[in-house]
Amino acid sequence: MIITKFDKTHFLNEYWQKKPCIIRGFVESFTDPIDEHELAGLAQEDEIDSRIVAYSNGKWTASQGPFETFEDVCIGAWSLLVQGVDRYIDDVDELTQLVNFIPNWRLDDVMISFSNEGAGVGPHSDEYDVFIIQGKGSRRWQVGLPGDYTESIPHPLLKQIDGFKAIIDEVLLPGDVVYIPPKHPHNGVALSDCMNYSIGFRAPSSLELLGGLIDENRIDSAVSVRYTDPELLSLRTIDTKSAAINSSELAKIKQHISQLINSEQAENALLQLLSRQSLPNDESLKADYSVEEVRNELLEGVSLARMTGVKPVYAEQQTSENFVFFIDGNAFKVNIKLNSAFDILLNNKEVSFGIDIEEDVLDNPEFVDVVTNLINTGYWVLVD
């Protein structure tokens, strides 16, 4: 379960959601895109999810950020963990490109942790896949197989499990990765001051998807039709008890729900749901360009770059007259004839017209109008 030469196809066939592995040298000559002092600065921000987990004198403690000071909580062996750093720092966002063979909608965020020697969060398991890149320092990782483990809660903010047999027991050095599938118990202990970058993936339950689909509120009354049964009731016998629902009626009800879920509006609502990323609402990123200003800038050779953390989502097969894509719950619609140009734009960090995208697309008012909207919303930016 140690890979020394990474191959995407082999990994997806042999390991993804099947078994854990160590990937040696996944990132050659890895350089940390952030240090512990910058990480601590993020942990002081109100809108950023952070926590400190510490173990001292045989006792676990956990504290939720934001933090004004650290002296009282960084006691013994401790770890600072900060969620969603890829939404704020471009070099951290770039780490997600290492796993771009997995679709955007599955990506959750990049959590970064700094730990001193001996620190960790204890043995536990998660419901999602994770790639953990080793930054500076080193950490010992033990990973086991799914099983019926006894859960313990040493602190209200911590869930751990009691004991597992490790099938992986390795020390990671900078640039190495441990991949851990869902439900596989694991425990990481820092052997020195170290940084770790956890690229986590979404694993929504069917109930979460159904509830989210309803919450998106994109399904109107024209699609959400009333239940009818003009012929079905005649199949009930006269002596059928009024409290009973027969199998034909249950099948009809499930079919009724299925028709709604399979509608085009429900598909768009699902895509909208899957595109949500909780991007920071930073007014300073927004602009006020006119369509003509954007067109002139792009004709003069200025590039178009996607902003930090932005992960577009769209259906690969689209059969209507429009091409629709979503960013953080916002829908954008263009004529289907523009899908090739937007396919390039949405799947690349930076593009230039006349090189990556044909320059004559800038003669299309609809294309430039949508691009201007993307820039003014703060999702893309013009760069020299």
What is the Cα–Cα distance from 233 to 244, expressed in whole angstroms?
12
- Assess contact for 278 and 249: CB atoms under 8 A: no
Residue 252 is given by DSSP the state: H
- Which DSSP string do the residues of 152-213 spell out, in sequence order? EEEETTEEEES----SEEEEE-TT-EEEE-TT--EEEEESSSEEEEEEEE----HHHHHHHH
Residue 140 pairs with which residues in a beta bridge?
171, 189
Q: How far is CA 349 from CA 45, 56, 185, 345, 356, in A?
A: 27, 44, 35, 8, 11
Q: Supply the pLDDT for residue 256.
A: 84
Return the SS3 of 21. Answer: strand
Enter the DSSP assignment of 258. Answer: H
Distance CA 144, CA 93 (A): 29
User: Looking at residue 238, what is its pLDDT?
Assistant: 62
- Give me the sheet containing 168-172, strands edge to edge: 168-172, 139-143, 186-190
What is the pLDDT, as a whole number, of residue 248? 83
Largest CA distance in the chain: 81
pTM of the model: 0.90
**Predicted local distance difference test score (pLDDT) of residue 247:** 84
Do the beta carbons of residue 189 and residue 117 sit within 8 Å?
no
Cβ(93)–Cβ(117) under 8 Å? Answer: no
Write a three-state SS string for 317-364. CCCCCEEEEEECCEEEEEEHHHHHHHHHHHCCCEECECCCECHHHHHC
pLDDT per residue of the chain (384 residues) written in tens, 0 to 9: 899 999 999 999 999 999 999 999 999 999 999 999 999 999 999 999 999 999 999 999 999 999 999 999 999 999 999 999 999 999 999 999 999 999 999 999 999 999 999 999 999 999 999 999 999 999 999 999 999 999 999 999 999 998 899 999 999 999 999 999 999 999 999 999 999 999 999 989 998 988 888 888 666 555 567 778 777 666 666 666 778 888 888 888 898 888 888 888 888 889 999 999 989 888 888 999 999 999 999 999 999 999 999 999 999 998 889 999 999 999 999 999 999 999 999 999 999 999 999 999 999 999 999 999 999 999 999 998
State residue 288's pLDDT score. 95
Contacts of 359 (CB under 8 A, 6+ apart): 299, 353
Given this model, what pLDDT does residue 237 score? 64
Task: Quote the Cα angle for 380-381-383, to 5°.
Answer: 140
pLDDT for the residue numbered 328: 95
Pull the structure tokens for residue 238.
Answer: 């006269």
pLDDT score, position 215:
82
Please check whether residue 114 is in contact with residue 80, taking contact to mean a CB–CB distance below 8 angstroms.
yes
Half-sphere exposure of 254 (CA within 13 A, CB side): 7
Buried b (16+ CB within 10 A) or exposed e, 99-116: beebebbebbbbbbbbbb
Rounded Cα distance, 39 and 82, in Å = 7
